[in-house]
């Protein structure tokens, strides 16, 4: 990139900033995610998903009299500090909506920074749309008027999982294994509390916290799980931590049931293989095996654009997020953050899969959840092969939205009317 390009790009950015400030054609969203480094694929896939959702919305006419959405990716490099630098760049360009999800750590930093920014720059306020960071604190202690969460948080998902365990008499001895950071701690705590309340006869025979992304050899943990005599594992491990754990369990022929949060994502299906049939469950808001004509058509269109096996459509909640944002914009008749936020909170919205509600007191979305079971394509309700692996998750238990609602300790500070 030589100086000419730099100058041209700088001019473009300034122009875009000016255009944004005067409210020209497109409504911009800043997608602040990991786009480089070891976890870059996660953010890249999310950007493909989001772009497709936006394209579909724009094709249907956009919002506010034909204005289209535009997504601008910013690289957070997985680090809260870099995400804050990206936020500064976004606010500098006058972008009113920030979208982020992967890593609750980054989300927490963004919420804090956005609160400060909105307070110090009332003319340039922004809204934070969180599609995947599920640390409960973000809608409890750290709740913010400007933050909206579009995925069910740790406790809500654990509520669904423990309800499924309540109905499963085979579960007698549970082992909890999670990553050693705030998210994993929350999962372990929630699991113990809810199991004690719903199935006091179930014994938690062990709990382990391992460092995030550093363990290459899970064989010792598997040996420990076996030595404890567990018949069920509950884990919220994701990415490589899940893949390696599953593989180690398969290698040493560990005979257990699995209740997971993320087994349907990023290559774990191929790692699980035959050994997991009928025994691995996860919890999602949608997957391609949930029978629904509108989403089926949407999924087919997505795969037509991105046919590579690794390019799955995971984030149905992005469709919900953009749909609700569009409706809120129409109601507010403006892109001002306070007006849109006031329109968005408390909204009930009819999604393709079901009705969802954005709770007013803590800005947490209430949506139905599904707990499907791992099976081979063509059996167990699995119609679609996940990431080309030949397996998928099907035959889901449904957890209605109302059932996922949990009390919140949020004391939201609302801005005074403008």
Considering only the stretches 243-251, 312-320, 330-338, 341-349, report the one whose residues sit in contact with other proteins under the rule CB under 8 A: 243-251
Nearest distance, CB of residue 360 and other proteins, angstroms: 26
Residues touching other proteins, count (CB under 8 A)? 72
Binders of other proteins in range 60-89 (CB under 8 A): 74-75, 79-81, 84-85, 88-89
**What's the CA gap between 7 and 153, in Å, rounded?**
44
Question: Six-digit token pair at 395?
Answer: 């035959």
Q: Please name the helix (run of DSSP H) or strand (run of DSSP E) that holds residue 32, with its range, or none.
A: strand 27-33
Binders of other proteins in range 288-347 (CB under 8 A): 308, 310
Q: Does 12 bind other proteins (CB under 8 A)?
A: no
Q: Does 240 bind other proteins (CB under 8 A)?
A: yes
Q: Does 19 bind other proteins (CB under 8 A)?
A: no
Nearest distance, CB of residue 271 and other proteins, angstroms: 9
**What's the CA gap between 193 and 220, in Å, rounded?**
27
**What's the CA gap between 167 and 408, in Å, rounded?**
26
Q: What DSSP assignment string belongs to 353-394?
A: SSEEEE-TTT-BEE--EEEEEEEETTSTT--S-GGGSSEEEE
Nearest distance, CB of residue 389 and other proteins, angstroms: 9
Q: Does 5 bind other proteins (CB under 8 A)?
A: yes
Nearest distance, CB of residue 380 and other proteins, angstroms: 23
Cβ–Cβ < 8 Å for 92, 17: yes
Question: Six-digit token pair at 258?
Answer: 């699995």
Kindly tell me which residue out of 19, 105, 347, 384 binds other proteins, with binding defined by CB under 8 A. 105
**What's the CA gap between 17 and 21, in Å, rounded?**
6
Q: Does 130 bind other proteins (CB under 8 A)?
A: no
Nearest distance, CB of residue 109 and other proteins, angstroms: 5
Kindly tell me which residue out of 224, 279, 303, 339 binds other proteins, with binding defined by CB under 8 A. 224
Q: Does 170 bind other proteins (CB under 8 A)?
A: no
Considering only the stretches 110-118, 292-300, 321-329, 373-381, report the one whose residues sit in contact with other proteins under the rule CB under 8 A: 110-118
**What's the CA gap between 112 and 294, in Å, rounded?**
38
Q: Does 251 bind other proteins (CB under 8 A)?
A: yes
3-state secondary structure of 349: strand
Number of helices (H) and strands (E), helices first, in the chain? Answer: 13, 15
Mask: binding to other proteins, 191-210, rule CB under 8 A, as x and -? -----------------xxx
Q: At what angle do helices 293-305 and 40-59 cross, to 10 degrees?
A: 120
Measured from the CB atom, the residue of 34 and 396 that comes closer to other proteins is 34
Nearest distance, CB of residue 72 and other proteins, angstroms: 10
Question: Six-digit token pair at 128?
Answer: 């934070």
User: If you count them, how many residues does the chain have?
Assistant: 418
Q: Does 354 bind other proteins (CB under 8 A)?
A: no
């Amino acid at each position: 990139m030589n100086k000419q390009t730099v100058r041209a790009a700088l001019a473009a950015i300034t122009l875009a900033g000016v255009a944004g400030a005067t409210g020209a054609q497109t409504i911009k969203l800043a997608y602040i995610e990991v786009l480089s480094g070891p976890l870059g694929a996660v953010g890249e896939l999310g950007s493909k998903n989001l772009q497709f959702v936006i394209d579909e919305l724009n094709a249907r006419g956009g919002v506010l009299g034909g204005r289209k959405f535009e997504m601008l990716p910013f690289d957070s490099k997985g680090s809260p500090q870099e995400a804050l630098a990206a936020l500064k760049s976004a606010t500098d360009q006058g972008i009113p909506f920030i979208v982020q999800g992967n890593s609750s750590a980054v989300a927490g930093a963004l919420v804090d920074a956005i609160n400060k920014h909105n307070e110090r720059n009332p003319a340039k306020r922004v809204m934070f749309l969180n599609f995947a960071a599920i640390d409960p604190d973000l809608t409890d202690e750290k709740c913010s008027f400007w933050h909206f969460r579009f995925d069910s948080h740790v406790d809500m998902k654990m509520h669904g999982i423990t309800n499924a365990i309540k109905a499963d008499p085979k579960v007698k001895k549970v082992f909890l294994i999670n990553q050693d950071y705030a998210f994993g701690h929350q999962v372990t705590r929630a699991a113990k509390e809810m199991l004690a309340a719903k199935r006091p006869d179930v014994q938690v025979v062990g709990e382990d916290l391992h460092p995030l992304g550093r363990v290459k050899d899970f064989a010792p943990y598997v040996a420990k799980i076996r030595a404890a005599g567990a018949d069920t594992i509950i884990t919220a491990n994701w990415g490589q931590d899940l893949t390696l754990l599953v593989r180690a369990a398969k290698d040493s022929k560990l005979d257990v049931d699995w209740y997971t949060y993320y087994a349907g994502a990023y290559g774990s299906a191929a790692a699980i293989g035959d050994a997991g049939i009928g025994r691995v469950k996860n919890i999602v808001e949608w997957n391609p095996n949930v029978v629904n004509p509108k989403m089926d058509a949407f999924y087919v269109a997505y795969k037509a654009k991105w046919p590579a096996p690794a390019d799955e459509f995971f984030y149905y909640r992005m469709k919900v997020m953009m749909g609700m944002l569009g409706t809120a914009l129409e109601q507010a008749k403006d892109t001002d953050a306070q007006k849109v936020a006031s329109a968005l909170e408390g909204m009930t919205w009819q999604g393709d899969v079901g009705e969802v509600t954005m709770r007013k007191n803590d800005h947490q979305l209430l949506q139905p959840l599904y707990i499907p079971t791992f099976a081979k394509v063509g059996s167990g309700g699995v119609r679609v092969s996940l990431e080309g692996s030949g397996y998928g998750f099907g035959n889901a238990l449904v957890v209605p939205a109302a059932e996922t609602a949990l009390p919140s300790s949020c004391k939201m500070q609302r801005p005074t009317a403008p």
